[in-house]
Amino acid sequence: MNLKKYVVYWLALLLCSLASTNIHAANILENGTFDGGYFPWDAPGWWAGGAGDSAVDERGRFCTTVTALGTADWGAQLRQGQLAFVSGETYQVSLRAWSSVPVTMQMSATDESAGFVWIFGGDITIDSSLDGDGQVIAMSFNAGADSDSGHFRFLLGGGNVPVGETVCFDDIVVDAPSADINLIENGTFDSGFEPWALGEFGGAATPFLDEGRGCILVDDPGAESWSLQVRVSGLDYVENGEYLFRADAWSSAPVNIQVAGVDESAGFVWHFGQDVAIDAPLDAEPQTLSVDFVNGGGATESGIFRFLLGNGHVEAGTTVCFDNIELLAPSNSEIEEPVEPAVYVNAHGYLTAFDKYAVYVALEEYGEVTSPRAWTLFSGETSVASGETVYRGLDEGSGDHVHGISFGHIQAAADNYTLVVTEGDSSYSSQPFAINDDLYAALKYDALSYFYHNRANTPILADVVGDTWARPAGHVADSAVQTIECQTDPGNPACRTLDSSGGWYDAGDHGKYVVNGGISVWTLLNQYERAQVLGSDAGEFADGAMSLPAEENGNGTPDILDEARWEIEWFLTMQVPADYPLAGMVHHKMHSEFWTGLPTAPHEDDVSRYVHPPSTAATLNFAAVTAQCYRVYKALDANFANGCLQAAEVAYAAAKANDFIPATSNGNGGGTYGDNNASDEFYWAASELYLSTGKQAYAQDMQASVHHLSLEDVQYGQAAMGWGTTQALGLLSLATVGPQYNADESWVAQARNAVINVAELYVGHTQSQAYGLPMWTGGMYWGSNSNVTNDMIMLGLAHDFSCDERYLETMHTNMHYLLGNNPLGVSYVSGYGENDMKEPHHRFWANVVNSDFPPVPAGVIAGGPNSLLQDPIAQSALQGCDPLKCYIDHWESYSTNEVTINWNAPLAWAAAYMDQWSDADLKAAAQSRCAIRNQHFSSFEDDTRSWSKRGVGEISVVEGGTRGDNALEVDGCGYTYLDTPQFSTTEFEVLGDSLAIDVMLPDAQDNPHWLGNISFHITLPSAGIHNQWIDMVPLTDDSLGSWFTAKVALPASIKAALAEEHEGLISVALNTSNCSAPLLVDNLRFTGNTHAR
């Protein structure tokens, strides 16, 4: 026997006998039987301390076992929210319950959205054993208040359920009189006539508004009764459904009109109707019409409700008026929305000059799925393009039959585009979207503003973020916080009190973490460094460009560095000082003693906070970021920069001197960010220290690492970097700024090639994935959207290093996925797109939970699909989901809808990059830099600027070389002078102490005893330098059959002139004795102590 079905049946009989039961009663709760999990119930959150385990057991009951007592009964609740209660209405509550020992607890309904409002409730006692049939509880309550945001709850905390005991619930029902649904929109004509339409099918009339009434002056009733109609369309009628029509009506003369429900979508179908008489004069009190109908025409979603005013009903010259029109259907008459084909687009928009890609999902229920469908692109109501979809196949990540739609040739700027696909006789439309070049101009700043919003220990100012998000300083006691050792043993040598003010709140909680802060700061600093040395948009983040406090908008420091410094300065508080155990190591994190409730404003949280023990991973994150800090800030604040470097070298030395120390896991109050392999952090830290100091000890550590110059171990995951996989950060810093900091040239070249190779992988994935992701989608993991944005960083740098626009187009396509072109049609970025994320797991941006708290601001990215379903809400709501559909925009789904600093940082990086390449002025400047860097005459890649020669040899550009695709072949013996094209010294982004060129001699030599020499000359006429000889280098056996670098030191006078603005040329003089075979030269460059010009 199915016990659950028996109980539900028994309870139904019981409730029928209760005295105030309304025959139209409806259960306002969802899933009171806990089938398939407990969504949308909220499991106990232990907001006042305590702990417990909750789950649905094998009998289908929701059970909680208390393992530690909290301090308040409300601290642990089983509850369901977003319920509507009507003051004065009677609610019938019933349930079945079990307990391992007799318990008494409160069962109640409340509203906490704007303070605390009691609606109804009382105590219940449960004394049925866990292995019995359960105790049936049935009670009746009158609601004491109205609410649209009510909770129904059981209070389990504060000892209501003793430690070690278990309580279970099932078959929970809260019955209320069902609310009838009015199918008519704007029956009061408060918004004009829409959606009402005048149907003139041989008749004619003049509609007008009169003192809030909708009126029709009949000019000509026509020949038929239906020749003149007033009607509204698109209504759902349920087969055999009961409907109540009501309206106020007037007429200038007595009339007899027909009121009816019909369907004309496929022929004519009568659903219900009858004639009604109206004789109330226009200037008198209204006549109230009221008629009950039963739908005898079957179900439809294309119903029409109409008034017939034609021949036989109303005479010419008569005016009929209506108001307060209702067509009421019981709530249980709603039609369940069917699944329909869908058109998915980047709902924020597409950049004008880029490819544009959208998706149509075909459903088997609608017939054959593989054939092309017709699509039309509209701007407003005007068709601007059309075509046929291309079937992409059954998508692995979504389970969808996907068709692709491309419309890159449309470049007219507008914000009212829609894409419509025809399926049989029906059409399906996308969300509206824009085509424009300013789409990322605001997002690049909104994404960065995440960090200011989440600053700890400082007021968040209304002048910066607006009144909605302003708040007092949170957790001011961080200025004197103890280490966790003090909690249990104040005599422990590691017990101390420190000032740990500053930093960013990490995610939805109020914890601060060095691991995770590390990659977040690196991303902001890399965005700045990349803009300085590779891009054209550094000025976009200059002092005063961002919305920050006044003292930061005018301090001479670029605003993006002001923001990063807020976290770096907190980092510096976390290093263990001398004379304490593990001196030089860095504390892993600091957070509250236990998880705080949601919502909780930072300034209202009084839970004790502690600094947790050091870890190797945190120490190396610290060393890497503070080393990067040194080179970025040294020209802006030398004292701060020097302090960063000193701390970095101490931390790195401490990490090497101590055995590996893992992060501690306490399971409460904060995340662990555990990492049992620090080899990647060692490589990252060594790389940053090498770039910032040039010390060979760090170079040797890099060379000894298994991660050196390689991304092979991350190519086949979903992202090349994350808080637990940081080796790519070191390689990317080397590739980005290596030339500016005298890094080994071959290392820089190999690092850039590694980036390009991984970018090729991402291009391939994007082209093969139906939804255009850069990664495998057979499984999605916590923070999957950050994998997309981190992959976009790799693609952007690959584009910088190669000027290959495929990488830029791939970034554009990846952004489509994040902003709506995905299997859920959701924009994962708040404030961007029509169906954007609105309910992040965040303790302050919690307006959906409590209206006293603000909504999420624009520019925040959600974690995204997570097929592991690692929170109770996801487990209940998403069982069996395809990987790309394992997401729910719910404030308690922390495994899919959390927000964090390390996810918003790469979004900001990617948005800024896309804006650089869509803003006309920034794009032109960036293209020029890219061409100089990657197609320069010095490596024979610019076919518009040729080298010339003087002397006996012949020259030609051939394939092969040490930089780019080409080299210069010199065929001839004796003296040959090779002259560069005329140049401006401003073309050289990097200068150095030496001038070098790569040379390869043929193996066969006419005179093996003397191979020749190579000398360098420079001409800068406006500096008074004319064909000045620099130095000569003999050619040796090292250059036979392999590349050899000939290098000469530059005199101080020439280095000074190169740093100024002059025009000139460089001459390379070859003197060789070999006449039998040509030699090759390539890559004329500055080297040795390189630095930005």
Residue 405 inside a domain? The answer is yes
Mention every residue, 6+ apart, whose C-beta is less than 8 A from residue 1026. Answer: 1019
pLDDT at res. 976: 93
Q: Which of 509, 540, 649, 791 is catalytic?
A: 509
- Kindly report the backbone phi and psi dihedral angles of residue 1034, in degrees, each rounded to the nearest multiple of 5, phi listed first: -70, 145
The CATH number for 137's domain is: 2.60.120.260
Residue 499 inside a domain? The answer is no
For residues 36-56, one letter each, b for 16 or more C-beta atoms within 10 angstroms of the residue's C-beta and e for the rest, the string is ebbbbbbbbbbbbbbbbebbb
Boundary residue ending a domain (329, 353, 371): 329
Same domain? For 544 and 616 the reply is: yes
- The neighbouring-strand residues paired with 393 are 402
Based on the number of CB atoms within 10 Å of its own CB, is 409 exposed (0-12), middle (13-18) or buried (19 or more)?
exposed
- The neighbouring-strand residues paired with 307 are 230, 259
- The neighbouring-strand residues paired with 1087 are 994
pLDDT tens, residue by residue, 385-401: 999 999 999 999 999 99
Q: Which of 562, 871, 889, 941 is catalytic?
A: 889
Structural contact between residues 528 and 543, judged by C-beta atoms closer than 8 angstroms: no
Same domain? For 55 and 11 the reply is: yes
As a whole number of angstroms, the distance between CA 622 and CA 437 comes to 38
Domain that holds residue 157: 3-177
Q: In the Cβ-directed half-sphere of 1029, how many Cα atoms lie within 13 Å?
A: 7
Same domain? For 411 and 455 the reply is: no
The CATH number for 943's domain is: 2.60.120.200
Q: Hey, is 605 helix, strand or coil?
A: coil
Q: Quick one: residue 413, left, alpha or beta (phi over 0 = left, psi -120 to 50 = alpha)?
A: beta
Question: SS3 sequence, 403-459?
Answer: EEEECCCCCCCEEEEEEEEEECCEEEECCCEEECCCCCCCHHHHHHHHHHHCECCCC
Tell me which residue has tokens 């280098």: 1033
Q: Rounded to whole angstroms, what are the CA distances from 167 to 49, 101, 164, 234?
A: 19, 8, 10, 48
Same domain? For 218 and 352 the reply is: no
What kind and span of H or E run contains 26? strand 25-27
As a whole number of angstroms, the distance between CA 1000 and CA 998 comes to 7
Q: Which of 898, 915, 919, 1082 is catalytic?
A: 898
| 898 noted as active-site residue | yes
As a whole number of angstroms, the distance between CA 619 and CA 649 comes to 11
Same domain? For 1075 and 998 the reply is: yes
pTM of the model: 0.72
Angle, vertex CA 993, rays to CA 989 and CA 994, nearest 5: 95
**Tally of structural domains, the chain:** 5
Same domain? For 389 and 297 the reply is: no
Residue 927 inside a domain? The answer is no
Structure tokens at 440: 């990322």
Q: Rounded to whole angstroms, what are the CA distances from 1029 to 33, 723, 1019, 1047, 1071?
A: 90, 52, 9, 14, 15
| 53 noted as active-site residue | no
Same domain? For 285 and 238 the reply is: yes
Residue 476 inside a domain? The answer is no
| 220 noted as active-site residue | no
pLDDT at res. 713: 66
Same domain? For 278 and 305 the reply is: yes
Residue 900 inside a domain? The answer is yes
| 889 noted as active-site residue | yes
Boundary residue ending a domain (177, 208, 241): 177
CA 911 to chain centre: 11
Residue 787 inside a domain? The answer is yes
Same domain? For 560 and 588 the reply is: yes
Same domain? For 732 and 787 the reply is: yes
Same domain? For 253 and 402 the reply is: no
pLDDT tens, residue by residue, 691-714: 999 999 999 999 999 999 998 766
Strand blocks (E) in 252-309? 255-263, 269-278, 287-294, 300-308
DSSP 82: E
Tell me which residue has tokens 């495998």: 776
Residue 673 inside a domain? The answer is yes
pLDDT at res. 3: 31
Intervals of the chain under pLDDT 70: 1-25, 178-180, 330-338, 666-667, 713-717, 933-935, 1093
Boundary residue ending a domain (177, 199, 228): 177
As a whole number of angstroms, the distance between CA 412 and CA 844 comes to 40
Residue 336 inside a domain? The answer is no
Let me know how long the chain is. 1093
pLDDT at res. 10: 29
The CATH number for 373's domain is: 2.60.40.10
Same domain? For 627 and 556 the reply is: yes
